[in-house]
């Protein structure tokens, strides 16, 4: 097991900061993209955030469902106003798109796209200036399915990433849709192309997947969040041990079986103990879990009520019925050194037992580790049917912004215009050779009072992937020590860096090279 820093893991001294404030800039930019379609697009509606033209600013590739997908190029002024213009290549103007995840599949230093569809999925090779082509030599094929979940990781010395592909209801099952969950797949590389797909069975209609090193054991296992609405009975949440032959963890390993209407996954160490907590969105109660103290296996305790993250009913709007959670992301929106939680909310369509006026959540973490709702105060409490989204610094001003994809309502681009915030740092972590994004690495920052631990992953959320800078809010801290535990297990020396800057961090033998951007 990797050693975790024994630095005192206590909260930063409390800093009094004004609540965050966001403004939707999409209407002024005349961006009216919507996620549309029938029952096959009740779920999905994701957005991929990544830099496709090497200007450091994150661009947006947004699913459209029955409408064409759209690529929005970031034209923001660095540190200035957020702005976008649509410029979608013909290849990307597809319908049937559910969501997308960016990753550098061929390790050429340019991000590619895995695109999930109600039909055949696509893997597009990224090129200069946001150009894309179809990969011709990956030998990737998993057939025609309704794909709603995706994650990726690198295993061992493989040249290509391992891909997990989650498929929803089998539309060809005449006895469906209930108890008609389709088969999901694991696709491992065979040299410079992919081998045959391995069936992940049983499969219970996943809506999110995430490879994550849940216990700091040196291996990313596959968490799968499943929708009990369609598997109905006999199913549950899953965690696959990524052994030579993958197997499901069960009660003999310490895994505790449970069932939810699983829709989104987020993973982040928010307690400072080096072990990531897990946030799972659902209908009614959302779930925040932490690894049980002293657990020898994947035994998780429910911390939802203790931490104040149930978010089970709308907090404004007057609709008292249960909420429906979709995309979820951790991020420090006011840079006080404490990670907050964004949840996209919205009725599936017209489910009468669930709230129709269901505003998105912004749960702000306090110094005692609990969370309080700030969505209405922050200006994000719209009543549209939200689905996918992102917490990302769109104009590189050190403040996290929010992107929200809505079903049959316009896309929201919510610029963070808060007057007050703490210090911050943006880090691009990279290594030479295979897996240049360093997927599976752990970033650690520390000062005298606190250590931040951050795993680099591909997957999770709800149909929405992000690649690019890792944002850390630092509160009043001016300098921190930084190190990286790389995917191969090697640990860099500590490097001192200053706050309020953007750095490219590269592996350099046992050290790190830090170049300001």
- Rounded CA separation 387/19 (Å): 25
- Rounded CA separation 2/486 (Å): 11
Neighbours of 301 (CB within 10 A): 14
Cα Rg of the chain (Å, integer): 21
pTM: 0.95
Q: Are 451 and 7 in contact (CB under 8 A)?
A: yes
Looking at residue 17, its pLDDT comes to 63
Residues of the chain with pLDDT under 50: 1-15
Element (H, E) at 391: strand 385-392
How are beta strands 97-103 and 132-134 bridged, if at all? Answer: unpaired
- Rounded CA separation 222/231 (Å): 19
- Rounded CA separation 208/70 (Å): 22
- Rounded CA separation 205/194 (Å): 24
The count of C-alpha atoms lying within 13 angstroms of the C-alpha of 205, restricted to the half-sphere facing its C-beta, is 26
Residues 372-392 have pLDDT tens digits of 999 999 999 999 999 999 999
Percent of residues in the chain assigned helix, strand, coil, to nearest 5: 5, 40, 55
Q: Are 487 and 471 in contact (CB under 8 A)?
A: no
Determine phi and psi for 229, rounding to 5 degrees. -60, -35
- Residues 6 or more apart whose CB falls under 8 angstroms from that of 153 comprise 161, 162, 211, 220, 242, 439, 440, 457, 458
Q: What is the DSSP letter of 397?
A: S
Q: Are 155 and 440 in contact (CB under 8 A)?
A: no
- Rounded CA separation 339/57 (Å): 22
Looking at residue 136, its pLDDT comes to 87
Looking at residue 15, its pLDDT comes to 47
Phi-psi sector, 79: left (phi>0), alpha (psi -120 to 50), beta: left
How are beta strands 189-190 and 193-194 bridged, if at all? Answer: antiparallel
Looking at residue 76, its pLDDT comes to 98
In DSSP terms, which residues pair with 126 in a beta bridge? 132
Q: Tokens for 340?
A: 């907050």
């Amino acid at each position: 097991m990797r050693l975790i820093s024994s630095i005192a893991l206590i909260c930063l001294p409390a800093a009094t900061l004004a609540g965050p404030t966001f403004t939707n800039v999409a209407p002024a930019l005349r961006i009216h993209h919507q996620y549309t379609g029938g029952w096959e697009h009740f779920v999905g509606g994701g957005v991929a955030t990544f830099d496709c033209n090497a200007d450091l600013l994150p661009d947006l590739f947004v699913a459209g469902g029955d409408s064409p997908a759209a690529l929005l190029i970031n034209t923001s002024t660095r540190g200035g106003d957020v702005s976008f213009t649509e410029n979608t290549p013909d290849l990307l103007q597809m319908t049937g798109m559910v969501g997308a995840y960016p990753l550098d599949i061929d390790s050429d230093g340019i991000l590619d796209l895995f695109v999930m569809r109600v039909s055949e999925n696509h893997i597009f090779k990224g090129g200069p200036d946001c150009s894309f082509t179809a990969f011709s030599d990956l030998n990737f094929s998993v057939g025609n399915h309704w794909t709603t979940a995706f994650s990726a990781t690198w295993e061992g010395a493989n040249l290509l990433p391992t891909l997990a592909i989650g498929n929803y209801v089998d539309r060809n099952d005449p006895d469906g849709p209930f108890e008609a969950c389709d088969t999901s797949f694991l696709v491992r590389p065979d040299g410079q192309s992919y081998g045959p797909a391995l069936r992940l069975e049983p499969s219970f209609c996943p809506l999110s997947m995430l490879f994550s090193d849940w216990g700091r054991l040196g291996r990313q296992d596959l968490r799968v969040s499943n929708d009990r609405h369609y598997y109905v009975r006999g199913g549950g949440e899953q965690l696959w041990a990524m052994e030579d032959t993958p197997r499901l963890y069960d009660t003999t390993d310490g895994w505790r079986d449970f069932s939810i209407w699983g829709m989104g996954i987020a993973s982040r160490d928010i307690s400072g103990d080096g072990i990531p907590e897990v946030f799972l969105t659902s209908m009614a109660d959302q779930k925040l879990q932490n690894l049980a103290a002293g657990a020898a296996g994947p035994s998780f305790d429910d911390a939802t009520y203790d931490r104040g993250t149930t978010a089970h009913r709308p907090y404004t709007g007057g609709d008292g019925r249960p909420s429906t959670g979709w995309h979820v992301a951790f991020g420090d929106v006011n840079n006080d050194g404490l990670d907050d939680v964004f949840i996209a909310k919205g009725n599936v369509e017209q489910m009468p037992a669930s709230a129709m006026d269901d505003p998105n959540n912004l749960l702000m973490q306090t110094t005692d580790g609990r969370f309080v709702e700030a969505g209405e105060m922050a200006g994000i409490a719209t009543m549209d049917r939200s689905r996918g989204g992102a917490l990302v610094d769109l104009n590189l001003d050190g403040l996290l912004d929010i992107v929200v994809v809505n079903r049959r309502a316009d896309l929201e681009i919510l610029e963070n215009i808060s007057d007050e915030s703490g210090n911050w740092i943006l880090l691009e972590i990279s290594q030479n050779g295979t897996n240049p994004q360093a997927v599976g690495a752990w970033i650690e920052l520390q000062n005298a009072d606190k250590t931040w631990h951050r795993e680099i992953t591909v997957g999770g959320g709800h149909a929405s992937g992000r690649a690019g800078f890792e944002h850390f809010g630092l509160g009043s801290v001016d300098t921190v020590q930084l190190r990286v535990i790389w995917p191969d297990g090697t640990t860099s020396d500590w490097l001192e860096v200053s706050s309020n800057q953007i750095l490219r961090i590269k592996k350099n033998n046992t050290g790190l090279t830090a170049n300001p951007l």
